Amino acid sequence: MEKDSVLEMRHIYKTFPGVKALDDVTFCVKPGSVHALCGENGAGKSTLMKVLAGIYKQEAGDILLEGKKVQITDALDAMEKGIAMIHQELNYYPDMTVEANLYIARENTYFAGIVNRKENLRQVHSILSEYGIELNPNARMRELTIAKQQMVEIAKALSTNAKIIILDEPTVGLDPAQMIEIRSLIRDLGKTHTVILSSHILSEVQTVCDRVLIIAHGRLVAQGTPEE
């Protein structure tokens, strides 16, 4: 085991009919850092992230959290283990408010009827202010910019006590102002959480990330600091 690792993925394999999406991927992630996963379209970035987030099951290979081998059975299990993924296709409820979308993450307590709405709202406010996320809790999701919608997803992840936050190409399709907004939030997140984001924008990787993993045709071909 590597020292101080938050996460290790060892010899991960995942195939789809006719495609080796992940072919013996091994890497280790240190705490409180932003890791970039880089590679061309179809390289295997989303597949790797989805294996980690419990959406796909690897055919072979081990996942270790803080040095302990774990089985991640599904997305809920990943969440319980402190792993949250923000997908490229955001799945929010467009007509619901920001506040309601944040509560969705906590629906277990909600439907158990023991929800403490005031306490929830207090937590949401404290998360938003801690990260300087400016969001009107009463705004409808569809009225927000993509960057703000992503921030709701990030706030949701934080409210579930995620330790590892996975972002799949968070800046694709954003205008420059929104990119700046999201990147600055990602940098802040990296101070307290482990962040893994996929990206193919070199300048983004250089300004936001501490470590870079490069993946091609399902294989990890290089890793190092952005300078390297």
Residues that bind ligand ADP (CB under 6 A): 16, 19, 21, 39, 41-47
Taking the least distance from each CB to Mg ion, the nearer of 58 and 120 is: 58
Least Cβ distance, residue 20 to Mg ion (angstroms)? 16
Helical segments of the chain, H only: 45-52, 75-80, 98-104, 107-111, 117-130, 146-159, 176-192, 202-208
Binding track over 37-76 against Mg ion, x by CB under 5 A = --------xx------------------------------
- Residue 21 binding partner per list Mg ion, ligand ADP, none, with a CB distance cut-off of 5 to 8 Å that depends on partner kind: ligand ADP
Taking the least distance from each CB to ligand ADP, the nearer of 13 and 110 is: 13
Least Cβ distance, residue 161 to Mg ion (angstroms)? 26
- Residue 120 binding partner per list Mg ion, ligand ADP, none, with a CB distance cut-off of 5 to 8 Å that depends on partner kind: none
- Residue 101 binding partner per list Mg ion, ligand ADP, none, with a CB distance cut-off of 5 to 8 Å that depends on partner kind: none
- Residue 93 binding partner per list ligand ADP, Mg ion, none, with a CB distance cut-off of 5 to 8 Å that depends on partner kind: none
Contact 182, 150 (CB under 8 A): yes
Q: How far apart are CA 223 and CA 108, in angstroms?
A: 39
Q: How far apart are CA 131 and CA 80, in angstroms?
A: 22
Contact 28, 226 (CB under 8 A): no
Q: How far apart are CA 132 and CA 17, in angstroms?
A: 44
Q: How far apart are CA 70 and CA 188, in angstroms?
A: 28
- Residue 47 binding partner per list Mg ion, ligand ADP, none, with a CB distance cut-off of 5 to 8 Å that depends on partner kind: ligand ADP
Does 199 participate in binding Mg ion (rule CB under 5 A)? Answer: no
Contact 28, 194 (CB under 8 A): no
